[in-house]
Amino acid sequence: MKNTRSTWLLACCLLGGWAQAQTTAASYPDKPVTLIIPFAAGGPTDVVARMMAIPMGKSLGQSVLVENVNGAGGTIASTRVARAAPNGYTIYLHHMGMATAPALYKKLPFDPLKDFEYIGQVLDVPMTLLARKDMPANTFAELLAYIKANKDKVSLADAGLGAVSNLCGLLFKSMIGVDINTIPYKGTGPAMNDVLGGQVDMLCDQTTQTVPMIKEGRVKVYGVTTTKRLAALPNIPTLDEQGLKGFEVKVWHGMYAPKGTPAPVLEKINAALRFAMQDPTVKQRMADLSSDIPPLDKITPQGLKTHLEAEIAKWDPIIRKAGVSAD
Ligand code: ASP
């Protein structure tokens, strides 16, 4: 008799919890949603997030508020999201740093494959290698010569271990065989400000930030990190064609939520993401910034999870071989 009662009690609690989750999901969202990004305002990730927030908000019927959580190449923000309440009011936009973090950080306070729900892939963004406007090198060959002749003086900005500007810099330095002084920032927004002001020499950054500076002649640019030239920057050769054979970094992005976020809530967020990625203003702006919106079948939870698993497997040996992991 006693067991039957406790079984009934448990069933009622479980049913009550399920019903509560469905009710929550049904009324979701009934307040603004926070979209966390792991880098400082003004940088390429911030540009993408603020562009998407508007159509996502339209789709959800609530504002999507972008919050910049900086530091440690994005791992502070990833930890914050992994520990956030799984209720759909904290979502996350991060790039391929989600896949490189496990190899870069030996003691990572989160697991990219266990602590998140996957909403969908967002955007693929090429990078450009650039320098301050008065850098005394006008071609890639002159840049290499200048770096080799001034290796203790040249400075390379990035957004910290785990950032793609750091990854691009690591690959560049290892391929040219010169260990250039690296200056970390809270994002490549602030880093770019110092390139424009001449306080730092070089930066490898995403076209979502660099295309306007390049077109306005405010920086010197030496190459793109894709294997084919970019339609928006047809006169800029690839690093591959200038001698860095196989140099390729194209920055993919994903949207995540904390593990345990209810499925009906995730479905609404995925619908808002797909709506944003089909928004004509977003599509045109992304094309102008040389960025590719993935096909709709990749803007899915499985599309992102499968890609993340493949990217972790791809970058792990590359990073370990480069010997750049942090303690
Ligand atoms: N995407 C980062 C930012 O927006 C920079 C990076 O990962 O290099 O600042």
Inside any domain, residue 241: no
Q: What integer pLDDT is reported at residue 163 of this predicted model? A: 95
Nearest protein CA to atom 7 of ligand 1, as residue = 163
Residue with CA nearest ligand 1 atom 9: 187
- Going from the Cα of 31 to the center of ligand 1, the distance in angstroms, rounded, reads 29
Looking at the fold, whether 121 and 257 belong to one and the same domain comes out as yes
Determine, yes or no, domain membership for 15.
no
Distance CA 173, CA 176 (A): 5
Q: How many domains, in total, are found in the chain?
A: 2
67 and 120 share a domain?
Answer: yes
- Distance of alpha carbon 324 from alpha carbon 177, whole angstroms: 15
Position 97, amino acid: G
- Structural domain including 110 reads 31-125+253-322
In the prediction, which pLDDT does 19 show? Answer: 64
Query: Within this chain, do residues 144 and 202 fall inside the same structural domain, yes or no?
Result: yes
Are residues 56 and 88 located together in one domain of the fold?
yes
Q: How many CB atoms lie within 10 A of CB 103?
A: 19
- Radius of gyration over every alpha carbon of the chain, rounded to an integer in angstroms: 22
Q: What is the CATH number of the domain that holds 88?
A: 3.40.190.150
Instruction: Tell how far the Cα of 23 is from the centroid of ligand 1, in angstroms.
Output: 38
d(CA 114, CA 80): 14
Atom of ligand 1 nearest to the CA of 191: 9
Cα(146) to ligand 1 centroid in Å equals 26
Residue 318 has what pLDDT?
84
Same domain, 85 and 115: yes
Which pLDDT belongs to residue 327? Answer: 57
The rounded distance, in Å, linking the Cα atoms of 284 and 104 is 35
CATH number at residue 136: 3.40.190.10
Indicate if 37 and 114 belong to the same structural domain: yes
Find the residues whose C-beta lies inside 6 A of ligand 1: 39-40, 43-46, 95, 159, 163-165, 187-189
Residue at 9 is within a domain = no
Atom of ligand 1 nearest to the CA of 189: 9
Residues 120 and 152 in one domain: no
Q: Domain for residue 260, yes or no? A: yes
Q: Do 119 and 143 belong together in one domain?
A: no
**Same-domain pairing of 219 and 145:** yes
111 and 64: one domain? yes
Whose tokens are 């803007």? That residue is 299
- 196 CB-contact burial (10 Å; exposed 0-12 / middle 13-18 / buried 19+): middle
Q: What's the whole-model pTM score?
A: 0.91
- How many CB atoms are closer than 10 A to CB 281? 11
Please give the chain's pLDDT, 327 residues, in tens. Answer: 567 777 777 777 666 666 666 666 789 999 999 999 999 999 999 999 999 999 999 999 999 999 999 989 999 999 999 999 999 999 999 999 999 999 999 899 999 999 999 999 999 999 999 999 999 999 999 999 999 999 999 999 999 999 999 999 998 998 999 999 999 999 999 999 999 999 999 999 999 999 999 999 999 999 999 999 998 899 999 999 999 999 999 999 999 999 999 999 999 999 999 999 999 999 999 999 999 999 998 999 999 999 999 999 999 988 887 776 665
Please choose from 37, 39, 207 the residue to mutate so as to test ligand 1's pocket, defined by most ligand atoms within 8 A of CB. 39
Q: Are residues 215 and 259 in the same domain?
A: no
- d(CA 62, CA 268) in angstroms, rounded, equals 12
Q: Which of 303, 324, 327 is nearest to 315 (CA)?
A: 324
In a domain, 304, yes or no: yes
First-residue to last-residue Cα distance in the chain: 57
52 and 120 assigned to the same domain: yes
Single residue among 224, 242, 275 that ends a domain in this structure: 224
Q: Which of 185, 204, 224 is the last residue of a domain?
A: 224
What is the best residue among 36, 51, 75, 164 to mutate for testing ligand 1's pocket, by most ligand atoms within 8 Å of CB?
164
Residue 24 lies in a domain: no
Q: Is residue 52 part of a domain?
A: yes
Within-domain flag for 239? no
pLDDT at residue 25 in the model: 77
